[in-house]
Amino acid sequence: MDFNRGNDNNKNKKPDGGDRPKGNVGTALLITVVIVLLFSWILNSVENSQYTLTTYSDFLDAMEAGNLAEVEMHYDRIIYLTKEEAAKPPAQQRACYTGLPSGGDNLALAEELHNMGVTVNEPIVEDNSLIMMILSYAVMICGLFLVMNMLTKRMGGDAMGGFGKSKAKVYMEKQTGVTFKDVAGQDEAKESLQEIIDFLHNPQKYTAIGAKLPKGALLVGSPGTGKTLLAKAVAGEANVPFFSISGSDFVEMFVGMGASRVRDLFQQAAKVAPCIIFIDEIDAVGRSRDNRYGSNSEQEQTLNQLLSEIDGFEPSKGIVCLAATNRPEILDKALLRPGRFDRRIIVDRPNLQGRLDTLKVHTRKIKLSEDVDLRKIAQATAGAVGADLANLVNEAALRAVRMGRQAVNQEDLLVSFETVIAGTEKKNTVLTDMEKRLVAYHEVGHALVAALEKHSQPVSKITIVPHTSGALGYTMQMPEEEKFLSTADELRTELRTLVGGRAAEQIVFGIQTTGAANDIQRATALARNMVTQYGMSDKFGLMTTATVQNQYLDGQAYMDCSQETAAGVDKEVMGILESAYADAKRILTEKRALLDEISEFLLVKETITGDELMAYVNADANRLPAPGEEPPAERTESM
């Protein structure tokens, strides 16, 4: 097996291999002729629509009856006006026309009509009219041909205006400007892709033991994790041509055009092999053909052509297909079988170290002040993907410019993180005193339950300043360390924290407000997952009653059980929520004085930190009981 590129002739070729003509003259000429014929037909139809078509016998009958008022003789037809039509106003007159019989004597007919007193008009024919007509048609045809030829050149010149030509962008060597140094937090994915690049460059050390070059690799992950960026990094690292195209570029309204583009893409790749082909969002063309709602002929033909092209080239050609998707469950099974896209590379959400490395990559060109601690930002952004972190850094830089600073500080990064979560502060929203007190008690209810409970994440900030996301306030919790598993006790603590705001409203004011809508929604979803997926229900035990679909998109679970079981699930979820709500009310009732004290402090400052909250909590824990008062219950703080 030899992937020798000779004396690098490929570098001097055009991206399409250099063998395509500059323009498709035949296509341009065909389009021009069609347009001219169509124009002539339309012109003739418009002209004929001005007259009423009759037979030659009708014309002779009108002539014998003396009903002709005016006749105009042409080489191929007779246009005449009857006396009834001539009597009408000129705007309402409508002439008739009929064809001439073959072998007819036009001169004799005209003389006979003249003898009958009928006005016979001859069409005005100038000496050079025929020449002018021919010249005008020639100029029109030449002009149209030049325009069509230019358009077909610009559109690719193939397959009737370029519809069947591949729209792939070709990157040579490091023209993308992205390398593996620009991708962080995806070490496993980079390792798999690096092996493919190394195989293209040094095939001998793999073939020496009989290893074959994998034909295809599928990048799978959530949106924003860096699948396309990884593919561009491959283009930057590989010293081979790189074809980049989106799956939607194969889809056309004309049946067969997508398959034609697939053929053209692989023909281009074969000319410059070894090379890499990258198909982004392959689910647009590789969707499963087992569709109960009917088939799509164009999509199926395109997919079949793609499968046959992947099977058609040998590993010795050095063509590798990369594809990216966030919906692997809908891809056709034939596309994923061994020998095609047989290597699946998971591009997952980065962990703590991955987020830290990603922040370092995105802040390389950002001026940072000395107080910036990227590790704290990485801890606060658990679950964030690369695109989120890039947006966070950019928002921080924009904020620094707005504040008139020359460098980004830690506050800029933290405020940008909060902006991504809750939006920017609303300066003009004015709450009434009652609404402000409700929001304060609501948020302190969340924070106090979290501070007094075991297994909870520390509170880092409480604010009652409205934000553009619709939140009138929020409580932010920041994990001390990254965790990948949650226990049942931790989830129940999270439930009590979520309903703590509603519990505080009920205890202090005896009312219920709409401010708890998002809390209740999140608590219900968490309780339902505990019952249907996590096996944390006393009633259903280890049985799962829901199936997760589109795990890399919304991750929504759909019930996979009978209606009776679903009703039982609803009752179990309701019981878990009621238990969490009762526990939250009990905690806040026992600490009512502390709830009032912290809420009043929040009303004055509008924003307090987690340290200020814990100062109140620790002071209350160390307070000596009054005479006759029971000592405070022993508890473990979350800080």
Residue positions annotated with a catalytic role: 443
Could you tell me if 211 and 142 are in contact, meaning their C-beta atoms sit under 8 angstroms apart?
no
What's the CA gap between 251 and 279, in Å, rounded?
Answer: 13
Query: Can you tell me the distance from the alpha carbon of 311 to that of 212, in angstroms, rounded to the nearest whole number?
Result: 14
3-state SS, residue 149: helix
Q: How far apart are CA 93 and CA 89, in angstroms?
A: 6
Pairing type for strands 459-463 and 68-73 reads unpaired
Sheet holding 169-171, edge to edge: 169-171, 242-246, 275-280, 319-325, 216-220, 343-346
Half-sphere exposure of 96 (CA within 13 A, CB side): 22
Q: Position 566: which residue type?
A: A
Cα-based distances in Å from 98 to 74, 104, 121, 207, 327: 10, 13, 16, 83, 67
Contact yes or no for 250/266 (Cβ under 8 A): no
DSSP-derived pairing of the beta strands 242-246 and 169-171: antiparallel
- The whole-angstrom separation of Cα 314 and Cα 193 is 20
Q: Return phi, psi of residue 51, to 5°.
A: -120, 165
Instruction: Return all residues near 1 (Cβ < 8 A) that are at least 6 apart.
Output: 203, 204, 207, 315, 316
Pairing of strands 343-346, 216-220: parallel
The 8-class DSSP code of residue 558 comes to E
Taking alpha carbons only, the member of 122, 141, 127 closest to residue 28 is: 141
Length of the chain as a residue count: 639
Q: Could you tell me if 617 and 462 are in contact, meaning their C-beta atoms sit under 8 angstroms apart?
A: no
Helices 433-452, 488-498: inter-axial angle, 10-degree rounding: 160
* Encoded amino acid at 322, one letter: L
What phi, psi does 343 have (nearest 5°)? -115, 120
Q: In a 10 Å sphere around its CB, with 0-12 CB exposed, 13-18 middle and 19+ buried, how is residue 295 labelled?
A: exposed
From the list 46, 102, 110, the residue with the least C-alpha distance to 73 is 110
Q: 3-class DSSP state for residue 220?
A: strand
Over its C-alpha atoms, the chain yields an Rg (Å, rounded) of: 39
The DSSP code for 219 is E
Structure tokens at 74: 């042409």
Q: Half-sphere exposure (CA, 13 Å, Cβ side) for 461? A: 15
User: Judging by DSSP bridges, how do beta strands 607-609 and 216-220 pair with one another?
Assistant: unpaired
Q: Which two tokens stand for residue 70?
A: 């005016």
Three state DSSP letters for 251-312: CCCCCCHHHHHHHHHHHHHHHCCCEEEEEECHHHCCECCCCCCCCCHHHHHHHHHHHHHHHH
d(CA 320, CA 275): 7
**Helix, strand, coil % over all residues of the chain, rounded to 5:** 50, 10, 35
Preceding omega of 350 cis (within 30 degrees of 0): no
3-state secondary structure of 246: strand
